[in-house]
């Protein structure tokens, strides 16, 4: 799976191309990165801090919740938007690097699909299902998440990296980038996108999971979140589309525990207080899902 995206990878130390040498990737300067037996490669710099990455427990909770289909409407909107932007690749059905284009050819038809903050690879896999022949790179700082992402789809290559540092991808290597509830590095997104390439960004609104936020004391979403995102990305990308996606979830008590455990509130929730609050909820409980799906384009 990694071999499909190797032509697009760059050394995190010197930004030179990486090539396979048995069980490692190396650059001409001699930097070497071992391939994990779970199918991913870590391209973190030596002084990187991984403490912000999702834990094994958070990743397991996210996998359970997403596999149950609770956020399927979000995945469907992303796949629909991706298909409208790219359509089926001309080389549909092919997966090897010889058919996926070249990073040096920004006008080529087969740019990479990159998911920045990919987690388990759930959304990227759904998008790749809609784009036969395309290959995808799942980028995340959590090795626990990427162990799952590496197996989420036969055309995904999984790479551990820090979203706030230079991404280990070559210039203009991506035709489409996804960012779902994840950190956004405007300068790097622009650099990695091809001219005319698009970022599809999913962010929660203030109404997202509001019933649980109120009842369980979870972290809330700023009313001005989307405006702040637009301002931060504005110097690098041009907004071209924005739509609201809203639907109602019917969650069991276990589902509620899972959705709390998979997100940022997992770092800030007292277990005993959560258990008491959960006991007071009806079952199932109806919960609002509310996100914004925005598209931004790198100018040509």
* CA distances for 236 relative to 172, 196, 239, 258, angstroms: 14, 12, 10, 36
Beta bridge partners of 156: 136
3-state secondary structure of 22: coil
3-state secondary structure of 104: coil
pTM of the model: 0.90
User: Does pLDDT of 53 surpass 70?
Assistant: yes
Question: Do 166 and 138 touch, CB atoms closer than 8 A?
Answer: no
| Count of helices and strands (H, E) across the chain | 9, 11
Average of pLDDT values for 73-86?
Answer: 97
φ, ψ for residue 238, nearest 5 deg: -105, 125
- Spatial separation of the C-alpha atoms in residues 242 and 145, rounded to whole Å: 28
Pairing mode, strands 174-180 and 193-204:
parallel
Instruction: State the average pLDDT for the chain.
Output: 89
**pLDDT of res. 170:** 96
Spell out the long-range contacts of 238-241 with Cβ–Cβ below 8 A and sequence spacing 24 or more. Answer: 238/296, 238/297, 238/298, 238/299, 239/294, 239/295, 239/296, 240/198, 240/295, 240/296, 240/297, 241/81, 241/294, 241/295
Candidates 286, 279, 186, 180; CA nearest to 228 is 186
Question: Do 159 and 146 touch, CB atoms closer than 8 A?
Answer: yes
Question: Do 89 and 112 touch, CB atoms closer than 8 A?
Answer: no
Question: Do 197 and 297 touch, CB atoms closer than 8 A?
Answer: yes
Average of pLDDT values for 170-193?
Answer: 97
H or E element at residue 248: strand 238-251
- Spatial separation of the C-alpha atoms in residues 289 and 251, rounded to whole Å: 11
User: Does pLDDT of 48 surpass 80?
Assistant: no
Q: Cβ neighbours of residue 180 under 8 Å, at least 6 residues apart?
A: 74, 78, 115, 117, 119, 123, 201, 202
**pLDDT of res. 276:** 83
Question: Do 200 and 293 touch, CB atoms closer than 8 A?
Answer: yes
Q: pLDDT tens for residues 228-277?
A: 999 999 999 999 999 999 999 999 999 998 998 898 776 666 677 778 88
């Amino acid at each position: 799976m990694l071999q499909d995206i190797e032509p697009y990878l760059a050394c995190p130390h010197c930004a030179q191309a990486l090539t396979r040498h048995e069980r490692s990737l190396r650059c001409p300067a001699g930097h070497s990165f071992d391939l994990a037996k779970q199918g991913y490669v870590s391209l973190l710099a030596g002084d990187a801090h991984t403490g912000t990455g999702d834990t094994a427990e958070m990743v397991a909770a996210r996998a359970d919740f997403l596999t149950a289909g609770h956020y399927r409407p979000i995945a469907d909107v992303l796949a629909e938007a991706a298909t409208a932007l790219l359509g089926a690749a001309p080389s549909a059905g092919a997966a090897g690097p010889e058919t996926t284009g070249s990073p040096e050819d920004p006008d080529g038809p087969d740019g990479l699909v990159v998911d920045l903050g990919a987690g388990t690879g759930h959304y990227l896999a759904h998008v790749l299902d809609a784009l036969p022949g395309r290959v995808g790179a799942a980028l995340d700082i959590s090795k626990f998440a990427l162990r799952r992402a590496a197996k989420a789809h036969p055309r995904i290559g999984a790479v551990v990296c820090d979203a706030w540092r230079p991404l280990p991808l070559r210039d203009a290597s991506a035709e489409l980038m996804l960012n779902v509830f994840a950190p956004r590095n405007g300068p790097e997104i622009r650099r990695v996108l091809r001219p005319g390439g698009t970022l599809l960004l999913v962010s929660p609104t203030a109404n997202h999971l509001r019933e649980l936020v109120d009842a369980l004391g979870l972290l809330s979403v700023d009313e001005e979140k989307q405006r702040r995102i637009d301002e931060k990305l504005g110097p690098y990308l041009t907004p071209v589309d924005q739509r609201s996606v809203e639907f109602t979830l019917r969650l069991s008590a276990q589902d509620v525990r899972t959705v709390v455990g998979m997100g940022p509130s997992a770092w800030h929730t007292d277990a005993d207080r959560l258990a008491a609050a959960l006991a007071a909820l009806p079952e199932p409980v109806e919960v609002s899902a509310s996100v914004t799906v925005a598209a931004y384009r790198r100018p040509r």
